[in-house]
Structure 1
Amino acid sequence: MSSATTDKLESRASTLSLKKKLLFSLIPILLFLGGLEGILRVTVGLKQLRYKCHYPLLDNQYCPNVVAVKDTNGETIHTNSDGLLDREYDKTPLAGTFRVAVLGDSFTAGEEVKDGHEFHALWEEELTRRFQHPVEFINFGVGGIGPWKELQTYHLRAREYKPDLTVLAMYWENDFDNSYSKFMRGEPNPLKDEYPVESFLEQAQVIRKSFNQWLWNNVSLYQFTHTRYHMLEHQFHQWFRPEWREVPDQVRPAPETPSPTAQPVSLEDIDNDLIKKYPPLPGIPPKSRPKDNLETSLDDPWFFDSDAWDLIRKLLLKLKQEVEADGGRLVVMHFLAEYQYRERHDMPMDEFNDFLKKNGIGVIDPNPVFLKMSADELHAQYVPGDIHFNEAGNKKLADFSMDYLEQFIRKMKQEKASGQ
């Protein structure tokens, strides 16, 4: 045997030996990981399935055809084939149908209540009865978004369903921040019609996030490590947040249970015009209006001339423009958070209503209904330990706005019949 042949055989034997070493070194690692997975499955178990999918530009949308149980309240999540938390709809409405697109965040999505008890589902049921023909309310709500993403949702999804009317439900507590943070981070701007064509990188991002979702739904070890990584990531963002994301003391919510050593505050020292109309709730000091509009955006909702309000107004006018270009009309319904009602936050609600009316946008303002409630009555409208309306709160919203919507739709029909 020649030396060249010998060297070749020795090289092949060395390669096989290296592969065996790698294989045998992987076996204990795989056994260890498998053992950890088994222990976590028994002791912790798999958490709630993730039923949100990543789409280019519109992140955090519902996946299509999902049935999942929400672990916080046991409610079952059903999505349709288009990834909407609703029943199936044809893109083109049937003849004689009046169609409404409902935009909003998690309050609109309605994961916290049983199917059919969301405020827009109650609208659909009652208005269909009143008009004696189908009135459809299609739920485009999804958690964690504001008017910035809602404008994009209309542009990319809702308009395909050819709605006659679009209703945007706006939540005062975080819709400003959800929108303004997108603007400050330089994301594609719907005010400039920045709807970029899908790139290879975006498609790769979709595939990566879809794989991560599969891991979450099927691997306990991934859930365990990813949850703790997310906590660390959140803390990191808190440490290094920009100045415009700082929470000023003047807008921090007061504790639900006041400190026994806290000094009582005289109403004379509180700058709050709202308490002239809605007296403070017993034992709950009203919030004084912030004195200055600081660099942070988190006090902007109090100041109608702030940067965040300027952005919100532009977004709503842009949405109105797109809706009307499609032959529809726009209505905005807005409401505060429970703690904002409790503390009598003197927000520029009247200025907002005037702006909407002046610009031909319909207004549903249920805030006086909740401000007139006692603390116990108010608390009874919300899911315990949660910020969202329960079934009673959704019904309160629907009942308050039902007559207004009926009159608005009748007027639209009359204008269409007369050719206006």
Structure 2
Amino acid sequence: MATRVVVGAQWGDEGKGKIVDLLSSDADYVVRYQGGANAGHTLEFDDKKIVLHLIPSGIFNGDATCVIGNGVVIDPHALLEEIEEVEAMGGDLKGQLKISGSAHVILPYHQLLDRVKEEHRGDDAIGTTGRGIGPAYVSKVSRVGIRMSDLFHPKALRKKVRDNIADINEALQHVYKHDPIEADPIIENLLEAAEQLCPYITNTSALLHDAIKNGKEILLEGAQGSLLDVDHGTYPFVTSSCPTSGGACTGSAIPPTAIDKVMGISKAYCTRVGNGPFPSELTGKAGEKLREAGQEFGATTGRPRRCGWIDLVALKYAVRLNGMNELALTKLDILDDFEEIKLCTSYRVDGEETEVFPLDLPDVENLEPVYTSMPGWNQSLEGCNSREDFPAKAEEYLQFIERYLDVDLTILSKGPKRSETIVL
């Protein structure tokens, strides 16, 4: 039996979907443990391509039961659209998809609040996707959230939604100068969705505890990345949940003692979507080259991603924070045509050099990255089917990363398809 957590080691978009899809062939359960439809995990297989936002990325490879855990916030209509899309591609969700009754529901008023709050912030906007993720988590911790289990109780559900909208309308009218919203259409749409979703809803905590007891293989899938963690990321430019390995426990109801492996996923370079500090960002031609070669546009929003060299200081912070004992490096092929490749190996803050990732926002915003330069390998990795096949310069690059982080690379990805992956 093994329970493995797959964690984004950067600012998200590292290729977690592909790696989870790959690993799921040996899993009995694949569990998405946090975030919402603001995350997009892209899968490519058998000349097909799909972007999953809520359904775990193990749905197409093997027979694993796919669980949407209690730490996820769910837009019912987005989920129903995704179910329809998965089934159209041959996915069989009947009996294979399970949804935690403790997962919270995103409603239209969360999405509206998300948008008006961002507009209200002006130049200080966080850069959210506008999908209602943050406001849904606010409802959760304010103890006024609607949970998936509430869909079984229409009478009580109506009252809860009406009470919430009464409070929200006060804020909309008097703080944001926005027209009030009506409760009835929201309630009726939710009850309509409930008819289709209720068969999937269950006590996933009991389900997973039995799986652990019976020695099953469990794969926990995070969304976003460690540096977007609400507690440990570049606050306030973070997501509203805990993408780290600690969040895997609270978001799935699996105890820490059951986790055997933590695999971090990192690109061979670095990207970030939205606002916030990005020490190794490239704003010139090199950044544009990375963006175009890597097709760095958000899977959920289509926004162009900011691009830069790999940041080993931030990556080592993520390794320690999550207790990573495995690392998958994706998009190695994007560096095929670079004469010179740089790696950020320290920061200069107020004239002092450090290898410690700072957690105070002004320090992160004002630091200067210090780079180590290496010659590029200047050839395609397409025909490389093992690490021994890699060009010498590529192997030197990989060895440098392993030594700096003190973590073994266990998966190397040189393209978006399952077949373009080397498992070490």
Which protein has the bigger helix share? 1
TM-score (norm 1): 0.31
Which protein has the bigger strand share? 2
Higher relative contact order at CA 8 Å, sep ≥6: structure 1 or structure 2?
2
TM-score (norm 2): 0.30
For the pair shown, which has the larger CA radius of gyration, 1 or 2?
A: 1
